Structure 1
């Protein structure tokens, strides 16, 4: 941009509307212009100065451009010093002062009010030659013109400037060929630059004659590839390259939400942790979550071997129901102890008195990708039943739901890295045999995840939750929820227990003498006693009973009372007996014993019986055997059994002081018999400790 004059006076020559004019008169905010054909016109001064082609052609004194020090950054030191030297002299030439400070006196030979531009140029030329600088008049005029037009950038040697694209001096045909090859490698595997060079050569030979376009040197070609593929990971990770290729080639939009539940996103991603499934196999599972955009609250998050439509539908129900404080959780995790508004929801729902510090959010709109579980009729019907607007994103466009993508990634790293069996994000980050370190079942891991969300995620400051008036202080999801509730007047109405049960998966089962069996687990209740072996009078054949169960909670099921009203809650038969005296290590060892017997799917009764037999065998000590040498495999198995029992007993000790058990209630410890083979090997048997008294508080903390 050329420098504008400081004053516009009568007689000045200006360029306006594509023609040259002379300023004939000035009156207030109006200017009278006369062109060379003596045609006069009156223009408003504001329109004249703001017009696109307005230029002052007279030699009126002008102000120098504003200094732009950023232009000199990255240049060689001598080039930057030379540009700064020219700036001082040209500023003095134009204004009479070597800088813009008005307190500096104006030199008489460069005073614009006395000397013309031609006189000042000749004076500056004489000064430079006297100082030993051989500068011609044409060079001085060219530098002055560039300084007035481009500022500091016009004083820098063009050979020192870095081209914006990095390909300005290369053959354009070669650059276009490289761009075509780079754009076609989005979904292709990563190859070396030498392979890309051969592809470019073949493309140039196909589009032009062979040898018509000379190829640059190897180093120049590598620089061109780097300049063309900047930010595309051409020679890096193929997964990152495909992810970047899915981004839209336009400006990203931003959705602003003003209340909780206005827009929520749901998605599924594999969890980088090896878990033990119900059938004893070790494999990864999938993490499905529902996040609220306004508060970044993880309204619901579950783990499943593979996500199905019913799992996605139940996720909505879990978001609309209070999170119950599990046994063993700290009282600090209760909603009454948090920053969440507690009094107003408590007056509407008594369940809030036992709820954890995670808000209940009723979704208004749910955004998801086009996965089978989310576009299924089951999920769409659940959204329709709950009054939720369902919005699928564009196909293969993860940027349409970036919040849930980032949230699930954070959960997978922040929660999964501390767990045994962590596999890492990719194969190169994986340790040796992570499946051998897997100790948590999928249900146990689900309980840990629920507690982690309440204790860590909901109280952790989130970078995306900032108050516009206090941008330096990020808020936590619970704090943001409390702020929005106060501003938007949002009071959620949670699902009733009957509605929540109605959304659970349904099965038709017989009420047998032992209760109801669901997924190889037996559930029973005293309220089921009158209905054992009795027909329900409902269902397909009138014999079976309607049973609803929560796939994420194996502690209980709900049986519809077809003879009356409401639901009957039946608890898992081994809910209280499995943890004590059997710990996790004993239970896992029992599964290994059954696997060695080539039982493909050990049921719960066999696992419990085998674990109990293991405890009894270890407590009684080695049996008296005939004089024969045991195999190394048998000795190793026995040592593992004793190790498992010892570690389980150590973990079952209470965590707080309590009165000692009376001596009469304690069993006398039996001295184990010394086996002859073990004595020959010099192996000391572990001392057998009698079974301790069951402590409900400690076991509840450890089990749940």
Structure 2
């Protein structure tokens, strides 16, 4: 029975009766099972209750999988005594619908980093789907002060908070108009094995900023339990108060959320940034207790103000070239026609000295290092190691699309234009963005309604004969001389009569 219960770890949830049946099957397959007396069904049920205690064998499959991933020994945690000494990063779907362009309601993902020493959420970004460039941008956002934005209360300024603003301002002039969010430079980042965090782009960004990237053990969420709990707290403390909240599962989801008022993605990002400063950073955290005064819980800002006195603060200022360093990189040759990426040609007079030349990087076979933004295909950057600078190269057919767009729209245009030229794909992408901006037209709505009515009509015609179908043939009339059988009518039911009385 222990073996049968262990088999339910990654399987779908079944009843106790199935586990008892599986126990009999395992016992029958053993060579030494002869002569073993199987207890009664009631005894097996009692045995299951004792052996399956705490395993959720017949409960939620998600809870059961989470329990089985816990380490057998006691929980531990790597100590962190300075801001940025240990940071954890992760992504999770945010249980909120947003209104994208064209009126589409879509769920989004949130990628966030939390500092272990202060429990500060150093940065958080919202995206329809997280890419490696978003994780790299999260690093830049963490080491850059959060500026005050129009409409925010003056109480959110760093100068009005418990943070040592004046002392930090003497070191970093960027903090003059900053909001009350500490600037934390990570030293070590713990992440899972998601493709975003183990990608070459994120690894290169950490290497450029001098950050030690430490992937957790596979299938061991307890290695980064702080960020897991933090993301769950954001869902309960922030997401449930936002219009379009969907709940954590389909069982908790309301009706017709798509038809209600929804925030756009930039608006929701602004609300999240404001909430992190106004609520999270000033909210007492139970894990931030002083050993000398265990009865008091500090807030993340208060803990940062206490630790920065002993650990110090060294500002890291990023230039425009540094932001280019954080973008995804690829290695390609500079040909006579320029550089081609996913059917897009980038060319300009700045590439003339580089055409058909060796880059000087022997380990890359003379190819050139190219950085690109997946959310903006209008330009790329080529590193010229000879002069130590970046060369900005624009898309050859940039004039065909008046609005910047990303690779997602381009890939869809490529699918809709199989075998098309670069000019045709560019026109298709521009038309796609124009249709999304204009919204659905009235004839399209009418056509969609007509298709729905036609489909419903077709579905109902299979359950009954059509009106123009010929009627079924009547039985042949009986001859007059044929004798008819005697008709015996059924009697009426009397509820008060005795059914056992003979008639």
User: In which range does the TM-score fall when normalised by the shorter chain?
Assistant: 0.5 to 0.7
Tell me which residue corresponds to 1:583. none
Tell me which residue corresponds to 2:276. 453
Q: Deviations over 1:14-55 (max 9, x none)?
A: xxxxxxxxxxxxxxxxxxxxxxxxxxxxxxxxxxxxxxxxxx
Residue of structure 2 aligned with 1:394, choices 217, 225, 236: 217
Indicate the SS of the match to 2:239.
coil
Residue of structure 2 aligned with 1:428, choices 248, 251, 262: 251
Q: Structure 2 matches for 1:618-697, cutoff 5 A?
A: none
- Contact conserved, 2:122 with 2:142, CA < 8 A, in 1? yes
Q: Structure 2 matches for 1:252-401, cutoff 5 A?
A: 252-278=75-101, 280-401=103-224
- In structure 2, distance between residues paired with 1:294 and 1:322: 19
Tell me which residue corresponds to 1:494. 316
Tell me which residue corresponds to 1:439. 262
Matched, 1:213 2:70: no
Indicate the SS of the match to 1:357.
coil
Q: Deviations over 1:203-233 (max 9, x none)?
A: 2222244673222342x33332121122111
Cα displacement (A) at 1:548: 8.7
- Contact conserved, 1:260 with 1:295, CA < 8 A, in 2? yes
- Contact conserved, 1:257 with 1:263, CA < 8 A, in 2? yes
- Contact conserved, 1:274 with 1:422, CA < 8 A, in 2? yes
Cα displacement (A) at 1:442: 1.4
- In structure 2, distance between residues paired with 1:192 and 1:257: 45
Cα displacement (A) at 1:254: 2.0
- In structure 2, distance between residues paired with 1:197 and 1:227: 13
Tell me which residue corresponds to 2:350. 538
Cα displacement (A) at 1:237: 0.6
Indicate the SS of the match to 1:360.
coil
Larger Rg: 1
Give the 3 Å change call, closer, same or farther, for CA 297–567 of structure 1 in structure 2: farther
Q: Deviations over 1:190-209 (max 9, x none)?
A: 11111111111222222244
Give the 3 Å change call, closer, same or farther, for CA 377–483 of structure 1 in structure 2: same
Q: Deviations over 1:629-679 (max 9, x none)?
A: xxxx9xxxxxxxxxxxxxxxxxxxxxxxxxxxxxxxxxxxxxxxxxxxxxx
Q: Deviations over 1:458-497 (max 9, x none)?
A: 11111111111111211110011011112x2321313234
- In structure 1, distance between residues paired with 2:152 and 2:78: 36
The 10-residue stretch of structure 1 (233-242 or 244-253) with the greater mean CA deviation from structure 2: 244-253
Matched, 1:482 2:305: yes
Tell me which residue corresponds to 1:231. 54
Q: Deviations over 1:41-75 (max 9, x none)?
A: xxxxxxxxxxxxxxxxxxxxxxxxxxxxxxxxxxx
- Contact conserved, 1:295 with 1:465, CA < 8 A, in 2? yes
Q: Deviations over 1:500-537 (max 9, x none)?
A: 54346499xxxxxxxxxxxxxxxxxxxxxxxxxxx974
Tell me which residue corresponds to 2:231. 408
- Contact conserved, 1:370 with 1:393, CA < 8 A, in 2? yes
- Contact conserved, 1:463 with 1:474, CA < 8 A, in 2? yes
Cα displacement (A) at 1:604: 8.2
Q: Please, which runs of 5 or more residues in structure 1 have no aligned partner?
A: 1-177, 508-534, 575-598, 611-632, 634-704
TM-score, normalising length from structure 1? 0.48
- Contact conserved, 1:314 with 1:503, CA < 8 A, in 2? no
Q: Please, which runs of 5 or more residues in structure 2 have no aligned partner?
A: 330-346, 355-369, 383-388, 393-401, 404-430, 441-445, 447-503
- In structure 2, distance between residues paired with 1:474 and 1:280: 44
- Contact conserved, 1:262 with 1:294, CA < 8 A, in 2? yes
- Contact conserved, 1:321 with 1:500, CA < 8 A, in 2? no
Q: Deviations over 1:523-581 (max 9, x none)?
A: xxxxxxxxxxxx97435899xxx9998969xxxx9999xxxx9999xxxx99xxxxxxx
Higher relative contact order (CA closer than 8 Å, sequence separation 6+): 2
Indicate the SS of the match to 1:401.
helix
- Contact conserved, 2:133 with 2:373, CA < 8 A, in 1? no
Q: Structure 2 matches for 1:70-219, cutoff 5 A?
A: 178-207=1-30, 208-209=32-33, 212-218=36-42
- In structure 2, distance between residues paired with 1:422 and 1:330: 25
Give the 3 Å change call, closer, same or farther, for CA 231–292 of structure 1 in structure 2: same
Give the 3 Å change call, closer, same or farther, for CA 259–456 of structure 1 in structure 2: same
- In structure 2, distance between residues paired with 1:483 and 1:229: 47
Tell me which residue corresponds to 2:464. none
Cα displacement (A) at 1:392: 0.6
Cα displacement (A) at 1:263: 0.6
- Contact conserved, 2:133 with 2:374, CA < 8 A, in 1? no
Q: Deviations over 1:586-606 (max 9, x none)?
A: xxxxxxxxxxxxx96446875
- Contact conserved, 1:361 with 1:492, CA < 8 A, in 2? no
Give the 3 Å change call, closer, same or farther, for CA 602–418 of structure 1 in structure 2: farther
Q: Deviations over 1:313-361 (max 9, x none)?
A: 1111100000011110000001000001111221122220111000000
- CA RMSD in angstroms comes to 3.4
- Contact conserved, 2:287 with 2:297, CA < 8 A, in 1? yes
- Contact conserved, 2:123 with 2:142, CA < 8 A, in 1? yes
TM-score, normalising length from structure 2? 0.66
Indicate the SS of the match to 1:291.
strand
Indicate the SS of the match to 1:265.
strand
Cα displacement (A) at 1:498: 3.2
Matched, 1:471 2:294: yes
Tell me which residue corresponds to 2:69. 246
